[in-house]
Amino acid sequence: MAHNILVLGGSRHIGYHAALRFLNAGSTVTFLLRSPNTFDQDEDIQKHVKSGKARLVKGDALAVKDIQNLWAEASKDAPVDLVLFTVGFNGNQKFSLRKGFVGMSPGNLVTQCLFNVLRTMPTTQPLPKFVALSTVGVTRASRSAAPLALKPVYSYLIQQAIQDKLGMERIIYHCAGWQWNSRDEPSAEIIGEGWKELEGLPEPGSLKDAMVIRAAMLTDGECKAPYRVVEGDITGYSVSRKDVGHFIFDAVTNHWEEYGGKQVSIAY
Supply the pLDDT for residue 216: 97
Q: What is the pLDDT of residue 126?
A: 83
Give me the pLDDT at residue 91, please: 56
The confidence score (pLDDT) of residue 140 equals: 95
Question: What integer pLDDT is reported at residue 94 of this predicted model?
Answer: 61
pLDDT of residue 104: 61
End-to-end CA distance of the chain: 28
User: What pLDDT is attached to residue 88?
Assistant: 85
- Cβ burial, residue 27 (10 Å; 0-12/13-18/19+): buried
3-state secondary structure of 210: strand
Mean pLDDT for the chain overall: 93
- What pLDDT score does 93 carry? 59
- As beta bridge partners, residue 238 has 217
H or E segment and range at residue 239: strand 238-240
- Compute the C-alpha angle 60/165/244, nearest 5°: 85
Q: Are 213 and 192 in contact (CB under 8 A)?
A: no
Low pLDDT (below 50) residues in the chain = 96, 100
